Amino acid sequence: MTQMDDMVPMFKREVAPPGQYDTLYPNSTDAEIKGFLADGFAEAQLEGFFGEVVLDMATEDFVPDLSQPGMMLVVIYAGMRTLRSQLMNANSNTRYKAGPTEYEVSGPSASVLTELIKGARARRDMLLEQARRGAGPTDYFLDYYALRITTYGSFYPYELAAGNG
């Protein structure tokens, strides 16, 4: 069985340089990481992956099992969620000086927040378009990339269901 415990070390390597996870996230617990992984799995399902896979929260098992690339996909989605969270809370300092007058402002970077909003809107628009078409995360697609992965990679076929194709 694929369990979330199997992906905790992968997540740590995804979001921090080698050997730096405990320094960068000193108060983080495995339970929090598993929460990010569960959220990442759900987000990947919303975008059309893992159509037949279920995460049993009581046992933390994925049924059916995830392949190594499938686990990595969950980790990537969880890592992106972590990065978005960090960017939303990152502050930038700007100092203005004109002669004897100085002004300093500190807060979230407007350009970073603007890009995050654009990404959220694009995702919402994609999900709304799927809903309008009557499509959703359980629709299947096949394109050259998916064919190449299933031919040469080790994804399981049920991991490649997507509703946006």
**Kind and range of the H or E run holding 44:** helix 30-46
Q: pLDDT tens for residues 81-101?
A: 888 888 777 777 778 888 889
Question: Taking 70 as the threshold, does the pLDDT of residue 72 lie above it?
Answer: yes
Mean pLDDT check: name the lowest of 14-18, 74-78, 101-105, 131-135.
131-135
Sequence spans of domains, the chain: 2-160
Taking residue 24's Cβ as centre, other Cβ atoms within 10 Å add up to 12
> Under a CB-based contact definition with an 8 Å cutoff, are residues 24 and 86 in contact?
no
Nearest 5 degrees, angle CA 42-CA 58-CA 72?
40
Retrieve residue 55's tokens. 């995460």
Q: pLDDT tens for residues 6-52?
A: 999 999 999 999 999 999 899 999 999 999 999 999 988 888 888 88
Retrieve residue 50's tokens. 């893992």
Retrieve residue 116's tokens. 């995050």
